[in-house]
């Protein structure tokens, strides 16, 4: 049995708390929001995960020391925009070598850092890992079979976290490619906004397939330029996460995109979804990275234009379709003509 602190009382953190408790671990859930802690203590259930009951032995707290001290693992499950603030808040409490696995997805716009890089900067004494893949909280909480990846700087750390999480409905792989995993998990949210916009415009399966396929091409193009491994973008944290986020109504990014495609502004869509839409925060960062690494991201570029420049969604689609003629795969040779 391990002692685990879940840093964040949102739906993903609670789904993982329920999973880890079922695996026999001692669970403490921390939230900076006192009303959220009070609700969880009273209801033993998160409003976004109806029916996922939390055992009386799970502790809920707003006290930093109680959540961090003596824990074998900390699970960082706050929204991406709060990762730096939370890490800075906890830095003085984390022991040398204490393991932290980040399960949020995003890129910090001001620094272009991934979330694990932020945690390492704020808490340099920690052993930081990431966990990512196609894994909606609503399904993990219900025990729907799910497969995910843990990335870490050492194989020992990755395999330790793998052992804590893995069970008959939650399969965990390990990988050394933390950067590729995080870029796949962050950028897929931007492409999912595009997929939702297409749905909101009334387009069909052909369009969705094209966005997923060309979307992963853009993600891999930027990710490999930054040092991520191509194989990672072909796996669970790349194409796998992109498929589920573009196709599912559990996806807040797709839902926000649908509303934008139906004519709502970015702010109106986020307000109606009433959850953090990570793709909006990652979209600008993606374009800054594209400029830095001299990479073309036509889908992500058009998403930015719709979100922040007032371009109509249907005009963005037309411009994507009417781009200059291209070869799909540049490295494939033509047979010699004779």
The helix or strand, by DSSP H or E, that contains position 151, with its residue range, turns out to be strand 146-152
Q: Give the number of other Cβ atoms within 10 Å of residue 337's Cβ.
A: 4
Ramachandran sector of residue 188 (left: φ over 0; alpha: ψ -120 to 50; beta: rest): alpha
DSSP 173: E
Buried b (16+ CB within 10 A) or exposed e, 58-75: bbbbbebebbbeebebbb
Buried b (16+ CB within 10 A) or exposed e, 256-265: bbbbbbeebe
331 class by beta-carbon count within 10 Å (0-12 exposed, 13-18 middle, 19+ buried) = exposed
188 in active site:
yes
- Candidates 251, 250, 267, 252; CA nearest to 306 is 267
The one catalytic residue among 71, 99, 105, 188: 188
Sign, CA torsion 289/291/297/298: positive
- Candidates 116, 123, 74, 70; CA nearest to 99 is 74
Positions marked active-site: 188
């Amino acid at each position: 049995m391990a002692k685990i602190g879940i840093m964040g009382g949102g739906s993903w953190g609670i789904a993982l708390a329920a999973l880890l408790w079922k695996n026999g671990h001692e669970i403490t859930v921390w939230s900076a929001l006192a009303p959220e802690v009070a609700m969880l203590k009273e209801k033993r259930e998160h409003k976004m995960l109806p029916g996922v009951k939390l055992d009386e032995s799970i502790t809920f707290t707003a006290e930093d020391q109680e959540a961090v001290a003596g824990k074998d693992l900390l699970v960082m499950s706050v929204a991406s925009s709060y990762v730096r603030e939370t890490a800075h808040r906890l830095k003085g409490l984390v022991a040398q070598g204490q393991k932290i696995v980040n399960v949020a997805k995003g890129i910090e716009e001001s620094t272009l850092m991934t979330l694990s890089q932020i945690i390492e900067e704020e808490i340099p004494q920690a052993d930081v890992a990431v966990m990512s893949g196609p894994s909606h909280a609503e399904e993990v909480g219900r025990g729907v079979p799910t497969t995910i990846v843990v990335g870490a700087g050492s194989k020992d750390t990755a395999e330790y976290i793998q052992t804590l999480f893995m069970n008959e409905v939650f399969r965990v792989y390990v990988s050394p490619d933390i950067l590729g995993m995080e870029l796949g998990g962050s950028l897929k949210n931007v492409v999912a906004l595009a997929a939702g916009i297409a749905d909101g415009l009334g387009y069909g399966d052909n369009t969705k397939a094209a966005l997923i396929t060309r979307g992963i091409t853009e993600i891999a193009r930027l990710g490999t330029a930054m040092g991520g491994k191509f194989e990672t973008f072909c796996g669970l944290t790349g194409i796998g996460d992109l498929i589920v986020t573009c196709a599912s109504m559990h996806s807040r990014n797709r839902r926000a995109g649908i509303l934008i495609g139906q004519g709502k502004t970015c702010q109106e869509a986020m307000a109606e979804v009433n959850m953090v839409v990570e793709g909006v925060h990652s979209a600008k960062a993606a374009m800054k990275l594209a400029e830095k690494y001299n990479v073309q991201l036509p889908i992500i570029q058009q998403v930015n234009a719709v979100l922040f420049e007032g371009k109509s969604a249907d005009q963005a689609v037309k411009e994507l379709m009417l781009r200059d003629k291209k070869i799909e795969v540049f490295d494939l040779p033509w047979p010699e003509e004779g």
